[in-house]
Amino acid sequence: MTPYLSADNAAIAESGISSQSRPNRSTSQRISWNRREFLRTAVSAALVTPALHSSSRRTSAPSSKRKTVVVTFGGGARDQETFAPEGQENIPHLIRELIPQATLFTQVVNRGILGHYVATASLATGVYETINNFASLPPQSPTVFEYYRRDLKRPPSDTWVVAPSNGFNRIGESSHRSYGPGLGARVILPKQLLKAATSGGGDYQHLLNDNYEAPFFAPQLKNNEFELHQLETVLKLSIHDFKSHAQVLSSPDELSLYVVLQLMRQVAPSLLWVTMHDIDIAHSGAYSLYIDGIQRTDRLCSDLWKAIQSEPEYAGKTTLFILPDFGRDGDEDAGGNGFQHHRTGDVFSRTTWMLVAGAGIREGIVVDRAVESTDLAPTLGSMMGFSPSFAQGAPINELL
């Protein structure tokens, strides 16, 4: 039996993106094809539970009850260190646990600016944002958080962003005149919580690395009272407990996941957005730290998936999306330095993937056709019952 079924979407593949606007189409398709072939070997050997071969669709909760968790996968990793045979040992949880239960898109093309804040904002708006990646600015187009809250009349507590860097503090709501202030997501910055809880002291520096790409960009947010309020009244954590737990954590993303799990238990938002960033330590040039980051992100995704399945507010009615904001440079381009950066704009840094699992999602499906980063927001809209009317992308039919 073939473990994977290819979704039959020839018509969609031809209509989704015009061939004129498809850069390096053949290379992008080859990357996609290779990913499928890599997985065919890995997953058929790894699967032990026959039920995971099923292509059946999971039960979908009514949209009013449905919850969605979006995870950006750590600042992008290359196939050599992930899906390719030599990289698969770095992502055992994705390969053995998550992918067999998921619909996997092997060709997610990002045509926007390859900076983490602006690319993540583009995922959230469905528009390739052009804001300065290193300025404290909100997205220009409405975010999924604003559409969701306005269309479904949801309170602010129902949508949260957990973000790794102070530079993401404006991502919750746009500057769009029809949306914006008062309609966005609550944003929680775990490092700011830790700084506030420790008054900047203590041995927590390894958890406070803020931006690997531009180390001098670390806006100071001075509002400890607000952070301490989040800690105590939202997360229901005492300063003491938070500090002592943080002492056993090894990275900023572990700190983020700790906050995410606490948020799920205490607030149970219906639209939860988690941005991981450990992998981006690759900018330091240390290959071993980059690999550590991939392995840790793989494990944290599995931990989050397990929490989704075990927390009563989430079990059975939650759809999980995992996708990198973009990739990293290939080894071939003379203008780059391989894994270290994402500055060449080559096809490897633009052709990424997306894994979707949980409520309403078919299992064991691989979709090769190209989708775009901007298709995420319209897809969330179709799933959750809101209309992202300014988004450029299109809903992804294989998920609906």
| Size, binding site for Zn ion by CB under 5 A | 3
* Contact of 120 with 383, CB cutoff 8 Å: no
Question: In angstroms, what is the minimal distance from the CB of 205 to Zn ion?
Answer: 20
Rounded to a whole number of angstroms, the minimum distance from the CB of residue 189 to Zn ion is 18
Strand intervals (E) in 276-396: 318-323, 351-358, 365-367, 371-372
Closest residue by Cα to residue 124 from 381, 346, 297, 335: 381
Closer to Zn ion at the Cβ: 118 or 357?
A: 118
Q: What CA–CA distances, in Å, run from 209 to 251, 261, 272? A: 9, 21, 23
Closest contact distance (angstroms) between CB of 102 and Zn ion is: 25
Q: Output 227 or 280, the one with its CB closest to Zn ion.
A: 280
| Counts for the chain of helices (H) and strands (E), in that order | 12, 10
**Residue 213 or 227 having the CB closest to Zn ion:** 213
Strand partners, 188: 162
Which of the residues 192 through 221 are near Zn ion (CB under 5 A)?
213
Q: Does 278 bind Zn ion (CB under 5 A)?
A: no
Provide, rounded to whole angstroms, the least separation between the CB of residue 342 and Zn ion. 6
Kindly state whether residue 280 participates in binding Zn ion, applying the rule CB under 5 A: yes
Min separation Cβ 117 and Zn ion, Å: 10
Smaller CB separation from Zn ion, 75 or 126: 75
Contact string 51-90 vs Zn ion (x = CB under 5 A): ------------------------x---------------
Which residue's CB is nearer to Zn ion, number 213 or number 363? Answer: 213
Residues 6 or more apart whose CB falls under 8 angstroms from that of 230 comprise 188, 193
Q: Which residue in this structure is represented by tokens 């997501």?
A: 185
Q: Which residue, 66 or 328, is less far from Zn ion as judged by CB?
A: 328
**Which residues, including other chains, have CB under 8 Å from residue 190's CB and lie 6 or more apart?**
162, 164, 252, 255, 256, 258, 259
CB of 277 to Zn ion, least distance (A): 8
Cα–Cα distance for residue pair 30/127, rounded to 1 Å = 26
Using alpha carbons, list the distances in angstroms from residue 399 to 298, 299, 383. Answer: 23, 25, 8
Torsion of Cα atoms, 134 then 138 then 139 then 141, to 10° = -160
Using CB under 5 A, which residues numbered 150 to 169 contact Zn ion?
Answer: none
Nearest distance from C-beta of residue 280 to Zn ion, angstroms: 4
Measured from the CB atom, the residue of 81 and 213 that comes closer to Zn ion is: 213
Angstrom distance (rounded) from CA 127 to CA 391: 5
253 binds Zn ion (CB under 5 A): no
- In the complex, the residues that contact Zn ion under the rule CB under 5 A are 75, 213, 280
